[in-house]
Amino acid sequence: MSTFLSYAVPGIPFGCTYAIVAMGLVLTYRTTGVFNFAFGAQAYVSAFVYTALTGDGVAVFPAFLVSVVVLAPAIGWTLDRFLFRRIAATNTTAKLVSAVAIFIGLPELVTLIFGSATRFAPPTLFLNPADVYFHLFSTPVNGLELETAIAAAAAVVVVSAVLRSSWLGLTIRAAVESPRLLELEGVRSDRVLSAAWMGSSCMAGLAGVLLAPQYPTLQFNDYAILLVAALAAAALGDLANVPMALLGGVLLGVVEGLGSGYFSPSSVWHTGLLPAIPFLVLAILLVTRPRLRALEDSEDPLAGSDPPPPPSIVVTRGPELDRVIRVGGRALALGAVVSVLTWVPGNWAFTLTAGLVYSIMFLSVTLITGMGGEVSLCQATFAGAGAFIAGQLAVHHGVPILLGALIGAIGSLVIGAIGALPALRLRGLPLALLTLALALLADNAVFPYSWAGGPAGGLLVPRPVIGSISLATTSSRGFFVLALIVLVLCVVGVKLLQRATVGRYLDALRASPLGAESVGINPSAAKVLVFALSAGLAGLGGALFGSLQQSITPSNFNYEFSLVFVVVVVTTGVRTVEGAIQAGMGFVVLQQLLSYLPGRWGSGGLTIVLFAFSALTYASHPEGVVEYQKRLWTERVERLLRHGDPPALTVATAGPHEHATAGSDRLG
Amino acid sequence: MVEGLSVTFGGVRALDGVDLEVTPGEIVGLVGPNGAGKSTLVNCVGGQLDADAGRVWLDGIRLDGLAPHRRARLGVARTFQRIAVFPELTVREHLFVALRARRPAGTRWSELVDRAQPTAAEADLLEATLERVGLQARADAPVGTLPLGACRLVEIARALVGAPRVLLADEPSSGLDPREAGTLATVVRSVAERDTGVLLIEHDLALVAEVCDRVVVLDVGQVLAQGAFADVMADPRVQRAYLGHVA
């Protein structure tokens, strides 16, 4: 008993922070329909400010006030007011992507502003972590453990008191059903939602500040794990039941404590299983709990009143303009290719080659999200599978890297198809969460092994040798040609699928699974197909990426990249093949341009921040920023054309406006 | 067609041992107050919902337990109370998708890369179906741009295009203007003439009286009465369920 408790009690502080965040997750999800991934980042920001302030000699209490009572609700209010409120209730993808964008953008922004110096554990709030306050069956309970338990209990008491008794609680519970119906009753539901956001963000901040003293240094990764553990806890309560979510959070913490006590630190269980427990729990719950599957069925009776998205501008623009843009676009692409092959300096040739490879990986997002209508948060994992299969085959079995890349793509395709099986009955948010859990499982339990992710120093992937031509030099323009050919093949393939009968089936399934099934479309087959093809594309791109980089480690493909992939592609335009290429090229070009900036501004974090914050415009332009700009510019040009010469729309009239046309070309 | 079907939601018995048959070419009206279990019944036949007990047959084949798309390929077609159309597809594409997807053989591999063009025979069939519901003029408009009444007709056309064995229409006339309702009545009759059984859920009793061969009244999950429209409506139990008193 005493051994058991001595292992279990240290898990309690973790469990309590999981529980607090889980409660916040459930609260915002039930009131606003937003599953706020950003809580992980918000907890980190509060922890960061608290750590920074106390590190600068500010007393604990004012630091707590600033970071938890002022800053955390302010962030929540801002997110609600300027972002989530503008997203249509039925647009699951927009809500999910926006939250993911905040989750990856906010910590990068903090690092950009305050630098990435190591910050050590801040002091606890009100109890001394070293003191033992009492003994639970002869197991000592220290200040840290007692403090988090007290804080969690206090948060629970406050929240349940508000929800149960006050008018605010009543309106919050009404807003759960339908904020729009609540407005019809004369209640300002926006204020109610603001209050819910501020309250739950405050909880995230509290959890962050409570968690900070438990780790020797402040690392964002710990907060990402906090989020996933809270997700698992919330899932235990079907994302609806607060007491169950709380219990789940505490239990998870305790189970982790027990695990790290009973498993010897050198065993496989300790290194592989233990860090993966929250993800495993989350994955199993998503697959087995029927109520979690039903999450996507909207209950808002007024949800159907949202207008459908406008059709793509490529379809609606005039034929003359269409020709100008098509010809111009091809000329631009040809010019770029010729430039890379002739005069562009080596580092830029490398960058643009990387852009082509990213475009291939990003096409996998176009396939699964743009065509399949599902958000996958494990595309980088599929890319990693392809890269490691190709790399291992080349390094250990002497398989030529191009053949290896093909095998890698097929392997990844098979993994994707198998991965789709547990996801067959899921869609929308639960499916996205499952893919995230799978990505984290791979990160923690597969890729760290040297048979998979290669040795610690990196897996040395060779460059291809085709006949007597070796593409081995770093700035090889030959690799550019190779990547270009592969990309063109992939683009042709995806476009063929888009225009095929099966492409129409996917359109139908995306719009209304219910209607599509009723006419005989098999949703399971479609899902397996889309997952498999998308994983295959990602795997192929990943294998080329490995060969281009020549050395890869698991950190090249961890879950954060999956999140970045989705954010970048969705921001640029997920519905078109062009969007993926623009995203791939834009991502690397921006990164290369920003690398000329001094100090931490040039370190790559800024690219992510820029993309993350442009993802926020996704809420108002669900077709993607680039797609939106294309529409804007096309309409402007068309207006100009009509204004200049209304009766005859000829190419000649387009002449004087070539500048504007070229502008939309660069974007399109 | 349906034998002893029972469904429970929580503690509520939505359907309690319902038996119902629709023969080929027959139009059966399914009426009853809100909450009687009409939509639940249709969902059990269409496969959107699994019944707790009972069986569903179509031409001697057991349907219960099959996925909705399997039932669709066997000949069950339906419309939805809250319309389930594909806003970005045109009317013609709706019919094309339904026609292709409903073939019993399923999807061919070549359809991964074909150009999604209907064959000559398919194109004729699509054109004929468009004409039946009077949507030729709007055939190439994205359905998201059409008014509600037209969307209902699109749903019906989509259900009809593969010559189904049975059509389940869940309140098809709600949201239709009188002219569209007239088209609906004509379409429903023409469906039955082609040997398709029709189960029509309707609150518009005039429409039921006009087109249905037989009427089944459902109340609190049980069949209250069935027979010819006039006989059923004269039944005091039916009047009590509908009006709260005997007229």
Q: Which chain A residues contact residue B44 at CB under 8 A?
A: none
Tell me whether residues A517 and B87 touch, CB distance under 8 A. no
Chain A: closest CA distance from residue B227 (Å)? 29
List the domain range (segments joined by +) for residue B95: 2-243
Q: Which amino acid is at A392?
A: Q
Structure tokens at A370: 């743009």
- Closest approach of chain A CAs to the CA of B86, in angstroms? 5
Query: How far apart are the C-alpha atoms of A365 and A642, rounded to whole Å?
Result: 38
| CB A631, CB A310: distance < 8 Å | yes
Number of domains in chain B: 1
Say if A499 is an interface residue toward chain B (CB within 8 Å): yes
Average pLDDT over residues A263-270: 72
pLDDT at A528: 94
d(CA A27, CA A5): 31
Structure confidence at residue A306 (pLDDT): 47
In chain B, which residues have their Cβ closer than 8 Å to the Cβ of A497?
Answer: 112-113
* CB pair distance less than 8 Å for A515 and B80: yes
pLDDT tens digits along A203-213 = 899 999 988 88
Residue A499: closest C-alpha in chain B: B115
SS3 A119: coil
B151-168 mean pLDDT: 90
| A174, pLDDT greater than 80 | no
Q: Do domains A2-259 and A319-629 have the same CATH topology?
A: yes
User: pLDDT by residue (tens digit) across B7-20?
Assistant: 666 666 778 888 88
Which chain A residues contact residue B101 at CB under 8 A?
505, 508, 516, 519-521
Q: Which of A497, A516, A523 sits opposite B112 (nearest CB)?
A: A497
Of B48, B78, B97, the CB nearest to A508: B97
* Interface contacts A/B by beta carbons within 8 Å: 113
Is the per-residue pLDDT at A296 higher than 80?
A: no
- Tens digit of each residue's pLDDT (9 = 90 or more) over A576-609: 888 899 899 999 998 888 888 887 777 778 888 8
pLDDT at residue A668 in the model: 34
Q: Map out the domains of chain A as residue ranges.
A: 2-259, 319-629
Residue A313 banded pLDDT, cuts 50, 70, 90: low
Residue A42 pLDDT: 92
Amino acid A627 reads E
Query: How distant is the alpha carbon of residue A406 from its chain centre?
Result: 27
For residue range B18-31, what is the model confidence (pLDDT) as tens digits? 888 888 889 999 98
Minimal Cα distance from B49: which residue of A? A514
Binding-face residues of A in 159-218 toward B, CB within 8 A: none
Residue A638: left (phi > 0), alpha (psi -120 to 50), or beta? alpha
Please state the rounded mean pLDDT for residues B110-128.
89
Dihedral pair phi/psi, residue A43, rounded to 5°: -60, -40
pLDDT recorded at residue A543: 95
pLDDT in tens, A93-151: 788 888 888 898 888 888 888 877 778 888 887 777 777 777 777 777 777 788 888 88
- Cβ of B89 within 8 Å of Cβ of A511? The answer is yes
CA dihedral sign of residues A394, A400, A405, A406: negative
- Give the whole-angstrom CA distance, residue B54 versus residue B40: 13
When CB atoms are compared, the residue of B78, B88, B142 closest to A518 is B78
Tell me what pLDDT residue A622 has.
67
What is the predicted pLDDT for the residue at A409? 96
Mutate: best of B9, B76, B97, partner A, most A CBs <10 A: B97
Residues in chain A with CB shorter than 8 Å from the CB of B48 are 514, 517-518
Of A504, A507, A517, which is closest to B69 when you measure between CB atoms? A517
- Average pLDDT in the A510-523 region? 90
Residue A301: pLDDT band (50, 70, 90) is very low
Q: Which of the listed ranges A65-79, A182-196, B227-241 does the model predict with the highest average pLDDT? A: A65-79
Per-residue pLDDT of A428-487, as tens digits, reads: 888 888 898 889 888 888 888 888 888 888 888 888 887 777 777 655 788 899 999 999
Query: What would the two tokens of residue A440 be?
Result: 């984290």
The CATH number given to A319-629 is: 1.10.3470
Q: What is the pLDDT of residue A303?
A: 45
Q: What is the pLDDT of residue A418?
A: 93
The whole-number pLDDT of residue A416 equals: 94
Whether the ipTM is more than 0.90: the answer is yes
Instruction: Look over chain A and give the mean of its residue pLDDT values, rounded to a whole number.
Output: 82
Q: How far is B99 from chain A (nearest CA, A)?
A: 8
Cβ separation A502–B107 shorter than 8 A: yes
Whether A422 contacts A283, CB under 8 Å: yes
Cα radius of gyration (chain B): 18
- The architecture in CATH of the region A2-259 reads Orthogonal Bundle (1.10)
**Using 50, 70 and 90 to split pLDDT, how confident is the model at A530?**
very high
Please tell me the predicted confidence (pLDDT) of residue A213. 86
* pLDDT exceeds 60 at position B150: yes
**A73: confidence class by pLDDT, cuts 50, 70, 90:** very high
Instruction: Give the distance from residue A644's alpha carbon to the nearest chain B alpha carbon, in angstroms.
Output: 30
pLDDT per position as a tens digit, A16-33: 888 888 888 888 887 777
pLDDT at position A658 is 37
Q: Does the pLDDT at position A551 exceed 80?
A: yes
What CATH number did the domain enclosing B233 receive?
3.40.50.300
Mutate to test the interface with B, among A90, A509, A519 (most CBs of B within 10 A): A519
Express each pLDDT in A328-361 by its tens digit: 888 888 888 888 888 888 888 889 999 999 999 9
pLDDT of residue B10: 60
Residues of A in contact with B42 (CB under 8 A): none
Chain B residues within 8 A of A302 when measuring between CB atoms: none
Does residue A305 sit at the B interface (CB-CB below 8 Å)? no
